[in-house]
Structure 1
Amino acid sequence: MLTIKLPQIFRIHQVPRIFWEDGIISGYRHPKSSALDCILSSFQMNNETINIWTHFLPTWGLLLALFQGSTGTGTVENHVESLPLTACVCLFIGCAFTYGAYTMPDRWVNGPLHHYFVPVAAFNSFVCTSLSCYSRFLELECPPLSKILRTVAFVYPFIFDNIPLFYRLFFCFGEDCPWNDAIAGYSYHLFFALLTGFLFASHLPERLAPGRFDYIGHSHQLFHICAVVGTHFQLEAVLCDLHLRRDWLSTHAPASTFTHTFATLSTALLGNLVLIAFFTVTLFRSSVSTTILQSTLSEVERHKDK
């Protein structure tokens, strides 16, 4: 009979310090888990199990809703104005394309920000990846700075991408402001986005009761759920703008083209892959990081053999 041995899990003092999470005492996976171990670990209870499933399942549900909403009938139609939504389906990159195409305030359409919005957002993705990767090098020597850089890596592009939305919600009033049914959805989206950021930065509730939320209910799981709910409202609002503003945008806004959309996406994807490869190689060549990992992993092996 074929038997599958599930990977062993560890307590906080049994794994390298760089993997420690505030308030999480047990349920850690082995720092050098194989690909098979990672797959198997998603079917056993550890402190990452619910994180994995709250990523995996909602992603496909939202992508299905996005695809059906962008085509209108669930079948592929040749709608030029749906290209930014299709781009998000294909390569999972940000909301800048959809905001630039459907959310931009009427008075900003064809203005400087509108023309450079997506290219700047693509550049911001490089900044985000660089800060996020570099922050890992500071994890042991300066944890607070590492946390700040990683937080900035997500807050900065979020603020930029939402500039059109902030303007519509707080400063845009009058006949040339698209105040429609989408506004409610955008408002809910921002609320859950702020709640997501708060949970990410605060490590609540596990920080208040270490060990009580190791497997279920810690901040990482909660901010995944808030992010999914916020994305749902964002998607509903964008699709509402698409359908309500389609005629006006087709007349006044520059048409999206397949070449421009996917050229920008390809550049962003390739550039980010190069950055990730660069930081990965740098990490493996770092003698300090290698020494720290090897010395702490020996502790893991000793505990594993007991």
Structure 2
Amino acid sequence: MKQTKDYEIDLGALAHNAAEQAEEFVRKVWEASWKVCHYRNLPKWLQDNDFLHRYHRPPLPSFGACFRSIFRMHTETGNIWTHLLGCIAFIGVSIYFLTRPSFELPAQEKIIFGAFFGGAIICLFFSFAFHTLSCHSVEVGRLFSKLDYCGIALLIMGSFVPWLYYGFYCHYQPKVIYLSVVCVLGCLSIIVSLFDKFSEPNLRPLRAGVFMSFGLSGIVPAIHYSLMEGWFSQISQATLGWLILMGILYIIGAMFYALRVPERWFPGKFDLWGQSHQIFHVFVIAAAFVHYHGISEMAMYRVTVGECEVPHPPIDF
């Protein structure tokens, strides 16, 4: 009797293992042979841009399948590769910059530039991760969507640090005030990004507006800096020119993202390439490199000028 029970248990275990192996086999075959689908065939949580009709990834509930989809053609391919390559480029630039000998580049300057490099790398990496894993599941997509928005806030915060540091290099009080305000606004942007509703497709203009407002808050210190240095001085023209160009690139990119053009005008024609989100990514990378060049010019000017002038006390007679 006992042998019969043991035999039945063994058969049950074998059947269970066989079922698991068959299920794993079917899952691997399906993951290897999945096909892109039309927007209308996507589950609700994957329906983000109804102007992109075809070439969508179906749900891929496996991290391996999601990462392998990097090398397949679908609506997210351009979004993945633009920020993946941008992230790699910034990692390379930051390694070159931060490993310079200390007699060429003091540690304090490396820390200031490190804030910008860190914000840029985190932003681009989170964006790459989100576009890669957004089709995994509702929970994973929502998590990395929040990380993506937090990365944008960190990029804006990191971009403010070097130019406020060098722009107000000899003016301690306004520098501390502006850096404190930037930190507060950045934290508020991150808190807003953590709400589930913030990532809903119909709130796309709100998302663009939040980050544009955060970036445009830099107009106040920019005007202060220009008045302090002189509107037509050489340093003001050089640094403000790059700063203005960076702002223009960010704003244009955000407008493409919010308005969903050109696919809004030609639905189904930009499913693979040339869609608004890809254009937004390109503008973000271009703006980040423009900003890097601008703050490098500011740092070079500060190194050339030297220490701040100490005002002489009045002479008593």
Partner of 2:172: 110
* From 289, 300, 303, the counterpart of 1:232: 289
Letter in 2 for 1:14: N
* From 36, 41, 45, the counterpart of 1:14: 41
CA 1:173–1:127 in 2, change beyond 3 Å: closer, same or farther?
same
**d(CA) in 1 for partners of 2:291, 2:283:** 12
TM-score w.r.t. length of structure 2:
0.65
CA contact (8 A) 1:96 1:117 kept: no
**d(CA) in 2 for partners of 1:252, 1:38:** 57
CA 1:230–1:169 in 2, change beyond 3 Å: closer, same or farther?
farther
Partner of 1:243: 300
Structure 1 position 97 matched with structure 2 position 166: no
Deviation at 1:170, TM superposition (A): 8.5
Deviation at 1:148, TM superposition (A): 3.8
Letter in 2 for 1:50: G
CA contact (8 A) 1:196 1:223 kept: yes
Deviation at 1:131, TM superposition (A): 2.4
CA 1:13–1:76 in 2, change beyond 3 Å: closer, same or farther?
farther
CA contact (8 A) 2:169 2:175 kept: no
* From 54, 58, 61, the counterpart of 1:30: 58
Structure 1 position 205 matched with structure 2 position 232: no
1:85-234 matches, within 5 Å, as 85-90=113-118, 92=122, 93=154, 94-104=158-168, 109-111=171-173, 113-134=174-195, 136=197, 139=200, 143=202, 146-161=203-218, 163-168=220-225, 173=230, 178-234=235-291
Gaps of 5+ in 2: 1-27, 123-153, 311-317
CA contact (8 A) 1:200 1:219 kept: yes
**d(CA) in 2 for partners of 1:165, 1:28:** 43
Q: Which moved more, 1:154-163 or 1:50-59?
A: 154-163
Partner of 1:46: 74
CA contact (8 A) 2:159 2:291 kept: no
CA contact (8 A) 1:168 1:178 kept: no
Gaps of 5+ in 1: 254-306
**d(CA) in 2 for partners of 1:156, 1:53:** 27
Letter in 2 for 1:151: A
TM-score w.r.t. length of structure 1:
0.68
Deviation at 1:150, TM superposition (A): 1.4
**d(CA) in 1 for partners of 2:228, 2:237:** 15
Larger radius of gyration: 2
CA contact (8 A) 2:208 2:258 kept: yes
Letter in 1 for 2:267: P
Aligned length: 245
**d(CA) in 2 for partners of 1:139, 1:220:** 15
**Which protein, 1 or 2, shows the higher relative CO under an 8 Å CA cutoff with sep ≥ 6?**
1
Partner SS, residue 42 of structure 1? helix
CA contact (8 A) 2:208 2:255 kept: no
**d(CA) in 2 for partners of 1:216, 1:8:** 18
**d(CA) in 2 for partners of 1:249, 1:217:** 47
Deviations 1:215-264 (A, max 9, x none): 100010011111111111111000110111235574369xxxxxxxxxxx
Q: What RMSD over aligned residues (CA atoms) do the two structures have, in Å? A: 3.4
CA contact (8 A) 2:178 2:221 kept: no
